[in-house]
Amino acid sequence: MSRKELTTPLAFEPIFIERIWGGRRLESEFHKQLPPKKRIGESWEIVDRSEAQSIVAGGPLRGKTLHELWTQHRQEIFGQAPDTPRFPLLIKILDAREKLSLQVHPPENVAGRLGGEPKSEFWYVATADPDAELFLGFRQPITRDEFGERLPDGTVVDHVHRIAVQAGDAVFLPAGRVHAIGAGNLLFEIQQNSDTTYRVFDWNRTDPATGTTRDLHVEQAVQCIDFEDVQPKLIQSEGELLISNQLFEIQKWNLIEAREGVPPGHFAIICCLTGNLTCANAKLAPGQFFLVPAHLEDRQLKPLAPRTSLLRITIPV
């Protein structure tokens, strides 16, 4: 592939995942064409995994998978990027019509021992019901034994820290933080490329289709949970930068006039939050993503409506 073929940002087909806690808000809020009569909890927007692949939706590279781009055209599309076997991020939209299970993802020093993958993640609240909340960490330190004793009757939830949220809030969840998404949240999630989750409590609910409860992973979870993780806070940003670490850098832009999306030789993933924007004749509406290739000639992000805002996602090198 020559650089001349890169004439526009790359958009990908979303992958919709049915979840017991999901709803239809991706359709009503972001006009996504969901399969009928299903509770869609997740839209995987950018993914490179053996079991799930983002596919380019249009243009000269239509039909190519993200893995093909990463392994065969890395320099042209991604420029200076980490040398990893797969694209290192997984980006989703989550529609929590009901609350998710209380869960944890493994830190790197534990994941290998348990046969899983490490996973830290970032959430940005796109919309939220008036009483929406997140469950993050603990109200006070708790011992592993006490945690285990309070799981069977569900009173462990009384020890979990809760934060009321609204649209525009953001939080970082390092691996090892016990957490759950409360009902009524529509979130953007940027995370390590991992799908390892250990559920510790699922609110004693049953699957309406089967009448069964979901599997729990208490033994694995207690090896991962940081029991000293007390009263974590939402991100309090100053300026455009929301977070920057070795995994990803995320900025929020209020796009008032045209701006270069990313310096030449680097790529960026852009998510439209509000309004509308364009780059090299590719348009984005709220809830849509595209990837600005490292060697795209026209890199200007231009607002098409008042109060246009976006998330800009990059990987520090």
Give the CA distances from residue 241 to residues 170, 244, 297, 312, in Å, rounded to whole numbers and listed in that order.
11, 8, 25, 9
- DSSP for 113-159, please give it: HHT-----EEEEEEEE-TT-EEEEEESS---HHHHHHHSTTSGGGGG
| Euclidean distance between CA atoms 294 and 299, whole angstroms | 9
| Euclidean distance between CA atoms 111 and 75, whole angstroms | 30
Helix/strand/coil for 235: coil
| Euclidean distance between CA atoms 65 and 117, whole angstroms | 22
Q: Which burial class, exposed, middle or buried, applies to 137 when counting CB atoms under 10 A from its CB (0-12, 13-18, 19+)?
A: buried
Q: How many C-beta neighbours within 10 Å does residue 196 have?
A: 19
Please name the residue ranges forming H helices in 66-106.
Answer: 66-72, 74-78
Helices and strands in the chain, H and E counts: 6, 22
Alpha-carbon torsion angle 235, 241, 243, 245, nearest 10 = -150
- Active site includes 74? no
| Euclidean distance between CA atoms 4 and 6, whole angstroms | 5
Which entry of 97, 177, 199, 299 is annotated as an active-site residue? 199
Considering Cα of 60, then 63, then 69, then 72, what sign does the dihedral take? negative
Residues that are catalytic: 199
